[in-house]
Amino acid sequence: MIIEPKIRGFVCITAHPAGCAKKVADEIAVAKASPLESGPKKVLVIGSSTGYGLSSRITAAFSSGADTLGVFFERPSAKGKPASAGWYNTVAFENEAHAAGLYAKSINGDAFSNEIKANVIQTIKEDWGTVDCVIYSLASPKRIDPVDGTVYKSCLKPIETSFTNTSLDTNKGLVESVSIEPANEEDIKNTVKVMGGEDWELWMEALSEAGVLTSQTKTVAYSYIGPEVTWPVYKNGTIGTAKLDVERASRAIHEKYGIEAYVSVNKAVVTQASSAIPVVPLYISILFKIMKAKGTHEGCIEQIVRLFKDHLYGGSLNLDEAGRIRVDDWEMDSEIQAEVAAIWPKVTTENLRELSDFASYQKEFLELFGFGLEGIDYSEEVEVDLPIKGLIA
Ligand code: NAD
């Protein structure tokens, strides 16, 4: 069929397999250009199909030559309709990994569930014995408690006081004011349940009990801090509270299992998760313009290659005062942030394209779903029902 983008709110409900394959191939080329001498060889990535998790899987495989096991929650093609972007990304990743002679298997299902954890452990035991590195890169709006079936929903709200600031309607290109009412106790608790560190701890507990961790195993979860303009709704809001809990979990994992467990604070990039956060798309559009002019612009793959090469498996961990790895250092550079702060109050719908790089934001958003990539003929018929070769479940 011929596939066109169909955008609904913050997501595109269609995805293009050839475009996704091109984007994965581009990321693989970046990873290959940065080979790792002493990187991990058996890597589990939880949340491996899009964004930071996909780039982590690509870096593990193509910078470090690692065997990878990926876990994600994606929609296969059904009734002739296209699959989700993460499905096609994984099809493409596995095709390339297998062609390069690398082990790559995938598990599609709810990472919060006991079943998926058991499935992963069985696979690691049978195929690898132990695991060198566990990347935790889930971004989910909800979590079903594996014990009692309670459904928890996360939210993006400020705490204590309401928040009003400039935001961007990315579909219409309108700069407008947004007001968000503060979270109640339930909202905060639920967001911590979904996006906090509990599930990461459960994964590490299950892996430890199964005897597949070694004293050399490393684990990393991702976080974000960002500029003050987003703090009421991010760092000091419900999601920031959940991220603090992820930091608590990193210390607990280290203490319980004696392994290296880190939180890596990554930069703001266009992903399916970040496009849903109020204020962030406008901030990203302004940030891109400034970082591109300075030559420090990075996407997910450049960030993760730097994380592996300069911090986890080379260079120096260079932890901050709270014990976190900071690959958001170029974003948080004081000169960059001063420029963002100077532009922020001036930006309007009329000057949006002049003062920010909204064009790149829009392009990167479409690329997440395989659209707008160079070299792809979007008028051509494509097969939508593509299998993931190493799909276990
Ligand atoms: P994303 O939406 O691109 O990826 C989320 C991944 O989680 C996908 O692979 C998806 O399939 C998987 N997933 C979601 N629910 C699942 C479930 N129930 N079971 C199994 N898999 C599930 O998100 P992202 O932006 O790459 O975010 C990943 C992490 O990076 C998050 O912790 C996020 O806070 C952090 N981070 C993101 C940014 C940013 O700007 N996007 C910046 C810094 C840190």
**Residue 355 CA to ligand 1 centre (angstroms):** 29
pLDDT tens-digit readout, 90-148:
999 999 999 999 999 999 999 999 999 999 999 999 999 999 999 999 999 999 999 99
pLDDT tens-digit readout, 41-95:
999 999 999 999 999 999 999 999 999 999 999 999 999 999 999 999 999 999 9
Q: Can you read off the two tokens belonging to residue 338? A: 């001063």
Query: What residues contact 236, with CB distance under 8 A and at least 6 apart?
Result: 158, 159
| Rounded Cα–Cα distance for residues 385 and 17 (Å) | 9
The reply to whether 234 belongs to the active site is yes
Is 10 close to ligand 1, i.e. is its CB under 6 Å away?
no
| Rounded Cα–Cα distance for residues 234 and 280 (Å) | 9
What integer pLDDT is reported at residue 227 of this predicted model? 94
Q: Can you read off the two tokens belonging to residue 170? A: 């990315």
Is 274 close to ligand 1, i.e. is its CB under 6 Å away?
yes
- Bridge partners (DSSP) of residue 69 are 44, 105
Is 137 close to ligand 1, i.e. is its CB under 6 Å away?
yes
* 142, 144, 195, 224: residue to mutate for ligand 1 pocket, most atoms within 8 A of CB: 224
| Rounded Cα–Cα distance for residues 154 and 142 (Å) | 6
Is 197 close to ligand 1, i.e. is its CB under 6 Å away?
no
Candidates 355, 12, 43, 87; CA nearest to 219 is 43
**Residue 334 CA to ligand 1 centre (angstroms):** 27
What integer pLDDT is reported at residue 393 of this predicted model? 80
What integer pLDDT is reported at residue 10 of this predicted model? 84
More confident: 219 or 275: 219
**Residue 222 CA to ligand 1 centre (angstroms):** 9
Is 119 close to ligand 1, i.e. is its CB under 6 Å away?
no
pLDDT tens-digit readout, 339-377:
999 999 999 999 999 999 999 999 999 999 999 999 999
Query: CA-CA-CA-CA torsion for 334, 337, 339, 341, nearest 10 degrees?
Result: -130
Ordered DSSP codes for 333-373: -HHHHHHHHHHGGG--TTTHHHHS-HHHHHHHHHHTTT-S-
State the closest ligand 1 atom to the C-alpha of 368, by its place in the atom list counted from 1. 3
CATH of domain 7-367: 3.40.50.720
Is 188 close to ligand 1, i.e. is its CB under 6 Å away?
no
Is 208 close to ligand 1, i.e. is its CB under 6 Å away?
no
Amino acid (1-letter code) at residue 271: T
* 84, 116, 137: residue to mutate for ligand 1 pocket, most atoms within 8 A of CB: 137
Is 111 close to ligand 1, i.e. is its CB under 6 Å away?
yes
Catalytic residue among 88, 234, 283, 313: 234
Secondary structure (3-state) at 306: helix
> How is the chain split into domains, by residue range?
7-367
State the closest ligand 1 atom to the C-alpha of 48, by its place in the atom list counted from 1. 9
* Residue having the nearest C-alpha atom to atom 38 of ligand 1: 268
* 271, 325, 329, 330: residue to mutate for ligand 1 pocket, most atoms within 8 A of CB: 271
Is 73 close to ligand 1, i.e. is its CB under 6 Å away?
yes
Strands of 67-72's sheet, edge to edge? 104-108, 67-72, 42-46, 133-136, 218-223, 260-265, 325-326
Angle at 242 between CA 159 and CA 85, to 5 degrees: 115
Long-range contacts of 387-390 (CB under 8 A, 24+ apart): 387/91, 388/87, 388/90, 388/91, 388/94, 388/106, 388/108, 389/91, 389/94, 389/95, 389/98, 389/104, 390/94, 390/98, 390/103, 390/104, 390/105, 390/106
State the closest ligand 1 atom to the C-alpha of 273, by its place in the atom list counted from 1. 2
| Rounded Cα–Cα distance for residues 339 and 38 (Å) | 38
pLDDT tens-digit readout, 283-338:
999 999 999 999 999 999 999 999 999 999 999 999 999 999 999 999 999 999 99
What integer pLDDT is reported at residue 9 of this predicted model? 84
Q: What is the pTM of this model?
A: 0.98
**177 contacts 165 by C-beta, under 8 angstroms:** yes
Secondary structure (3-state) at 108: strand
CA atoms within 13 A on the CB side of 10: 13
| Rounded Cα–Cα distance for residues 285 and 280 (Å) | 9
* 46, 69, 117, 138: residue to mutate for ligand 1 pocket, most atoms within 8 A of CB: 138
Is 339 close to ligand 1, i.e. is its CB under 6 Å away?
no
